[in-house]
């Protein structure tokens, strides 16, 4: 295969204003994607990025362009041409041209689907793979504007499978994201106290890493009195409830370096001893985390995860969140729960350098109280490696 990365912009950002992967890393990605096109009989690929929490909906676009947009974005890549990045919002184009690591960045026009369809017709593409939850209107107008006999196929899962195994450069960026996430977990340990509202905890979280260059992906937080609990899983919308002595606060936090995020899940006991029930829940969660940490390695399967989780049901508890999920620039497969919970639990064999979040969210069967613990790990030939340094513990504040 001839080198199709000669137009790759590696010197545009010579001032170092925007983090960027090396030309060799992008060459690796383009080779993988074009190999996928060849194997799948596809002439071209259209990748859609949405405006979603923490820009995670831009992960597939970022993989090809190094650009993290705030609104809808599209990438067109064919076997014989350089990728083109189309930006939906006209006034976002100048910054995209600075931050992206590819040469061809354009406005998508008032009707992005028509723009994409015309570009596909110009390139002679007949069989096109589509990645991402593209809006119906854009997809239909793209289909109408493309060649009359063009065929479109959803290849989202197949494309994202290319992203599950990380390169050394990606692992290094994930370590930096994990470090920012650890700063947030440690800041809560220092600053969480009675009288603060849940929504104020978001300021503590973001203030811990913003000045150092970290990006917010999300922070989910809930609080509940241990004596009369009523919440078992972190909340996506932070409330105005004030923290009180005797509360249990459970969090799920992801902060990122240039989109590559860690994920830390912890439980905090406020100004009191943990109740026996909370102690038991957390002991069960730590036990399952340890079982998974010791048993999952390259070659392990989803069945190994399920076996390690059996102690949750045996203890009379259940989970509300997934037990293990792929992560590292957005949510990735697999998603695995327990034998008793309604997750996909599809067959999966782990490969070296996949990155997964191990996160036992052990809750009572009435879902009145639960704990959360765990973080992002790398799969190795010998087991799991934590990408985080903040200790796994029930935190007393």
> Is 245 within 8 Å of 194 (Cβ atoms)?
yes
pLDDT at 53: 64
> Is 291 within 8 Å of 383 (Cβ atoms)?
no
Count of beta carbons in the 10 Å neighbourhood of residue 12? 17
Please list the residue range(s) of the chain that carry CATH number 3.90.230.10.
Answer: 168-396
- Scored b (16 or more CB within 10 A) or e, 67-92 reads bbbeebbbbbbbbeebbbbbbbeeeb
Q: Note the CATH number of domain 168-396.
A: 3.90.230.10
Question: What are 50-56's contacts with CB under 8 Å, separation 24+?
Answer: 50/132, 50/133, 53/217, 53/218, 54/215, 54/216, 54/217, 54/218, 54/254, 54/256, 54/261, 55/215, 55/217, 55/259, 56/217, 56/261, 56/329, 56/330, 56/331
Please list the residue range(s) of the chain that carry CATH number 3.40.350.10.
Answer: 23-163
Cα gap 189→251, rounded to integer Å: 12
Q: Note the CATH number of domain 23-163.
A: 3.40.350.10
pLDDT at 110: 93
Q: What is the pLDDT along the chain (397 residues), one digit of tens a residue?
A: 333 333 444 434 545 789 999 999 999 999 999 999 999 999 999 999 987 666 778 999 999 999 999 899 999 999 888 899 999 999 999 999 999 999 999 999 999 999 999 999 999 999 999 999 999 999 999 999 998 899 999 999 999 999 999 999 999 999 999 999 999 999 999 999 999 999 999 999 999 999 999 999 999 999 999 999 999 999 999 999 999 999 999 999 999 999 999 999 999 999 999 999 999 999 999 999 999 999 999 999 999 999 999 999 999 999 999 999 999 888 999 999 999 887 777 899 999 999 999 999 999 999 999 999 999 999 999 999 999 999 999 999 9
> Is 131 within 8 Å of 157 (Cβ atoms)?
no
Cα gap 354→298, rounded to integer Å: 9
- φ and ψ of 316, to 5 deg: 85, 15
Rounded to two decimals, the pTM is 0.92
Q: Is the dihedral of CA 306, 310, 312, 313 positive or negative?
A: positive
């Amino acid at each position: 295969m001839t080198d199709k990365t000669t137009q790759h912009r590696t010197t545009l950002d010579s001032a170092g204003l925007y983090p960027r992967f090396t030309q060799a890393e992008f060459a690796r990605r383009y080779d993988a994607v074009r190999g996928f096109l060849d194997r799948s009989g596809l002439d071209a690929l259209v990748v859609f990025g949405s405006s979603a929490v923490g820009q995670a909906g831009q992960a597939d676009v970022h993989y090809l362009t190094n650009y993290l947009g705030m609104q809808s974005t599209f990438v067109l890549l064919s076997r014989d041409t350089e990728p083109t990045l189309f930006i939906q919002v006209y006034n976002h184009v100048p910054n995209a041209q600075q931050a992206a690591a590819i040469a061809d960045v354009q406005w998508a026009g008032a009707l992005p689907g028509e723009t994409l369809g015309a570009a596909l017709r110009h390139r002679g593409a007949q069989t096109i793979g589509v990645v991402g939850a593209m809006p119906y209107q854009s997809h239909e107008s793209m289909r109408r504007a493309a060649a009359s006999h063009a065929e479109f196929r959803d290849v989202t899962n197949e494309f994202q499978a290319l992203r599950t195994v990380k390169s050394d450069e990606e692992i290094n960026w994930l370590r930096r994201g994990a470090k920012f996430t650890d700063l947030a977990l440690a800041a809560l340990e220092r600053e969480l106290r009675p009288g603060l509202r849940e929504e104020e905890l978001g300021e503590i979280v973001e203030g811990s890493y913003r000045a150092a260059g970290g990006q917010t992906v999300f922070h989910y937080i809930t609080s509940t009195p241990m004596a009369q609990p009523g919440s078992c899983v972190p909340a996506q919308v932070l409330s105005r409830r004030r923290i009180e002595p005797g509360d249990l606060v459970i969090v799920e936090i992801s902060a990122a370096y240039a989109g590559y995020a860690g994920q830390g899940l912890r439980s905090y006991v406020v100004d009191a001893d943990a109740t026996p029930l909370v102690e038991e829940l957390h002991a069960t969660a730590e036990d399952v985390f340890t079982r998974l940490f010791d048993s999952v390695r390259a070659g392990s399967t989803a069945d190994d995860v399920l076996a390690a989780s059996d102690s949750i049901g045996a203890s009379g508890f259940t989970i509300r969140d997934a037990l293990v999920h792929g992560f590292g620039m957005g949510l990735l497969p697999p998603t695995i729960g327990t034998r008793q919970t309604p997750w996909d639990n599809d067959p999966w064999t782990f490969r070296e350098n996949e990155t997964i979040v191990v996160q036992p969210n052990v809750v009572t069967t009435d879902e009145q109280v639960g704990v959360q613990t765990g973080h992002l790990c790398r799969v190795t030939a010998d087991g799991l490696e934590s990408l985080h340094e903040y200790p796994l513990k029930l935190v007393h504040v």
